[in-house]
């Protein structure tokens, strides 16, 4: 009986999802979404597999997500794959995870379908990982497609500290005194030195796995974002879950932090 129910569900869901997409109000859809791909390790534990298997399952779900984003006209996607805190994990877990991330990012770049842009403290990453992220960026620099920010070695506090550090060095280089800088520094100036400089702030931030916290993701940029928390673990996140998140966003009356 369960197999029949699964077969019926698989047959009916595409039509249901297509109807949901057609019903989305095109003038109320987000242009930039951030996604916290959470729950790979818990998914692996639930299916009786090792952690690396969970990370591979999560990596395999990235390309479908980007396709769903294209389908509804998203222009920028920021994917949080590895935080600065995650860099403290045991080497036995971290090294395979970095390998999986490198393979996933280069696979996206090889398709030349999206522009890949690494965001994070690349100086904290192993040299090979940082080099491959930069390689993916170069391979897709001239691609006329959706911009995909790959947040690896990323932490919101570190990003803000890096932005301030960059401003101090820049101003010191032209002889600005500390008093002069204190008088003129602005929110706009800090924004121009973030990893996502020149990009619109995210309209919507999605976190999977049921956790309802930011954990340091896009702290500066998400001040006016809408948030959507999904119970599904990331490897189980489906097209219908994504469409529901977009629909929930479209149904909200945005107050932009007020």
Cα(109)–Cα(116) distance, rounded to whole angstroms? Answer: 7
**Parallel, antiparallel, or unpaired: how do β-strands 32-36 and 204-207 relate?**
parallel
- Which residues lie across from 78 on neighbouring strands? 34, 149
The CA–CA distances, whole Å, from 47 to 53, 160, 238 equal 10, 38, 17
- Which residues lie across from 32 on neighbouring strands? 76
Residue found under tokens 């599904």: 232
Cα(230)–Cα(207) distance, rounded to whole angstroms? Answer: 6
Where does the chain show beta strands of DSSP type E?
32-36, 76-83, 115-119, 147-154, 204-207, 226-229
Query: Which residues are annotated as catalytic?
Result: 38, 86
Q: Which two tokens stand for residue 119?
A: 């965001």
Contacts of 203 (CB under 8 A, 6+ apart): 30, 31, 32, 33, 225, 226, 249
């Amino acid at each position: 009986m369960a197999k029949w129910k699964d077969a019926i569900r698989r047959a009916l869901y595409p039509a249901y999802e297509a109807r949901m997409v057609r019903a989305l109000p095109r003038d109320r859809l987000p242009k930039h979404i951030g996604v916290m791909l959470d729950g790979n390790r818990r998914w692996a534990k639930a299916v009786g597999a090792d952690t690396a298997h969970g990370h591979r399952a999560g990596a395999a779900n990235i390309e479908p997500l980007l396709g769903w984003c294209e389908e509804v006209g998203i222009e920028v996607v920021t994917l949080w794959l590895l935080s600065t805190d995650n860099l403290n994990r045991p080497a036995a877990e971290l090294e395979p995870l970095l390998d999986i991330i490198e393979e996933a990012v280069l696979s996206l770049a090889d398709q030349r379908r999206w522009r890949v842009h690494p965001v994070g403290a690349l100086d904290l990453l192993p040299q090979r990982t940082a080099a491959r992220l930069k390689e993916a960026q170069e391979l897709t620099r001239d691609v006329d497609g959706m911009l995909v920010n790959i947040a690896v070695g990323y932490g919101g506090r570190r990003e803000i500290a890096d932005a301030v550090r960059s401003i101090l060095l820049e101003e010191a280089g032209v002889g600005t005194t500390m008093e002069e800088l204190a008088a003129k520094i602005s929110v706009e100036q800090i924004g121009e030195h973030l990893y996502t400089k020149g990009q619109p702030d995210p309209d919507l931030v999605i976190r999977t796995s049921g956790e309802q916290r930011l954990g340091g993701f896009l702290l500066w940029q998400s001040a006016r974002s809408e948030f959507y928390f999904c119970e599904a673990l990331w490897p189980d996140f489906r097209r219908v879950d994504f469409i529901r998140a977009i629909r929930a966003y479209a149904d909200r009356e945005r107050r932009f932090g007020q």
